[in-house]
Amino acid sequence: MAYPLLKALHIIAIIAWMAGLFYLPRLFVYHAETKPGGEASEAFKVMERKLLKIVTTPAMIASWALGLALAAVIGLPALMAQGWAVAKLVLVVALTAYHLLLAGYVKDFARDGNRRSSRYYRIINEVPTLLMIAIVLLVVLRPF
């Protein structure tokens, strides 16, 4: 019973994490088009901070904790002997680095220090989608 419950909670945490990673750069797109210090800019600051602190970061922590718990149940040495699992771990680390990058952008916007265009944020908004596709394919297909 523990394994299916851990797996379900892990999937739920990942969905929440991905939702935050999809939405935060979208907020940056619109925020970058506002006047720093203006009413809209201040509203975006609150939305970005709350999304990061209340949803996205806790979901990332839960995803990692539950994923590591699943790995412990399966047996970490046996799991890491499989190439797909190692590749997945590398991509999850990349997704975490992307999360930390977004957290830095939240801080930039909070101090009216954004130096990037809305186009930049539109482009980087595709990163989590590409990583998610690769991770899901690795987990489901286990190609190596």
Per-residue pLDDT of the chain (144 residues; tens, 9 = 90+): 699 999 999 999 999 999 999 999 999 999 999 999 999 999 999 999 999 999 999 999 999 999 999 999 999 999 999 999 999 999 999 999 999 999 999 999 999 999 999 999 999 999 999 999 999 999 999 999
Residue matched to tokens 């590398």:
90
State the pTM of this model. 0.95
Distances in Å between the Cα of 29 and the Cα atoms of 1, 78, 125, 144 are 43, 43, 9, 38
CB atoms within 10 A of CB 88: 20
